[in-house]
Amino acid sequence: MNLHEYQGKQILNSFGVNIQRGIVASTADEAVAAAKKLTEDTGTSWYVIKAQVHAGGRGKGGGVKVAKSIDEVREISSEIIGMNLVTPQTSVEGKKVHQVLIAEDVYYPGASEIQEFYMSVLLNRQSSKNMIMYSTEGGVDIESVAENTPDLIHTIDIDPDSGLSDQEISVIADNLGLSGNAHSEMMEFVKSLYNAYSKSDSSLFEINPVIKTSDDKILAVDAKVTIDDNSLFRHQDYLELRDIREENPIEVEAKKAGLNYVDLDGNVGCMANFQE
Ligand code: ADP
Ligand code: MG
């Protein structure tokens, strides 16, 4: 089951992973109220308005914009809510935006340089282990990093029974070029991220970017979270996070009939029965 960014971040936060904070809104009025509340809670004076659809590359399609005042929050939210967002990861028709996340600005200037990293936790089916994939080249399309500069992508396999050692976590922070406070913040981040992945029975966490702020905090700015459908019986509270507006209607109907159906191109599909 795929989740929206705001839902993925709520799960991360529930396991103590640091996130860019935000409040979801379905109308421009709600967006304005959310922005005011966010300033009360976090002190932020700028806001990032982020379209909530099940697709990445939203920034490139005009679905992520910075607002520098409450008036701009209203203006930008009215533009984004209801739009058909086309990104490199959607079809040419795009995806209709029903909600936006009003998020705090974490790119504020300060003493140290801001950095964006890439980090994902996933199941490595080849080794039957979990894997963390990470890179100093965050905030950009990871597929092109893999194609042009594969040396800049690191991976580590993790035995699900023994988990990650402090030594292994320290190597990750070293490979990301961090030292001092940022190094220990990254170690905490990786530890809590892996624990969240494991306890939530997810099959994918993709955090792009993970940011190092100008005051050396490490936070998840984006979150793509996929929960393993086979584990949902253990997580009744996650069931309500399903947004069927984002799913293929034929697959939703098949699921209601107790069938596992995957819609493929043309007139081909794949169908199997399953037991609840
Ligand atoms: P997507 O991956 O769908 O494009 P992201 O949440 O990763 O969405 O946002 C896209 C980009 O927007 C990020 O890589 C980041 O560089 C930029 N961004 C996000 N928040 C801010 C902010 N507060 N100030 C400036 N840029 C931001
Ligand atoms: Mg992103």
Model confidence over 212-258: pLDDT tens digits?
999 999 999 999 999 999 999 999 999 999 999 998 888 889 888 88
Does 62 sit in the ligand 1 pocket, CB within 6 Å? no
Question: What does DSSP assign to residue 208?
Answer: E
Q: CA 138: distance to chain centroid? A: 13
Which residues are catalytic, by number?
118, 206
The confidence band for 98, taking pLDDT boundaries of 50, 70 and 90, is very high
Q: Whose CA is nearest to atom 7 of ligand 1?
A: 222
Model confidence over 7-34: pLDDT tens digits?
999 999 999 999 999 999 999 999 999 9
Question: Residue 19 pairs with which residues in a beta bridge?
Answer: 220
**Domains of the chain from N-terminus onward:** 21-104 (3.30.1490.20), 115-229 (3.30.470.20)
Q: Whose CA is nearest to atom 12 of ligand 1?
A: 59
SS3 state of residue 183: helix
The confidence band for 112, taking pLDDT boundaries of 50, 70 and 90, is very high
Please, which contacts does 170-178 make with residues 24 or more away whose CB atoms are closer than 8 Å? 172/132, 172/134, 175/134, 175/136, 176/117, 176/134, 176/136, 177/136, 178/212
Pocket test for ligand 1, best of 207, 221, 224, 225 (most atoms within 8 A of CB): 221
Residue 64 Cα to ligand 1 midpoint, Å, equals 6
Average pLDDT, the chain: 95
Is the whole-model pTM more than 0.85?
yes
Q: Whose CA is nearest to atom 24 of ligand 1?
A: 107
User: Which amino acid, residue 236?
Assistant: Q
pLDDT at 259 over 90: no
Q: State residue 174 phi and psi, 5-degree precision.
A: -65, -50
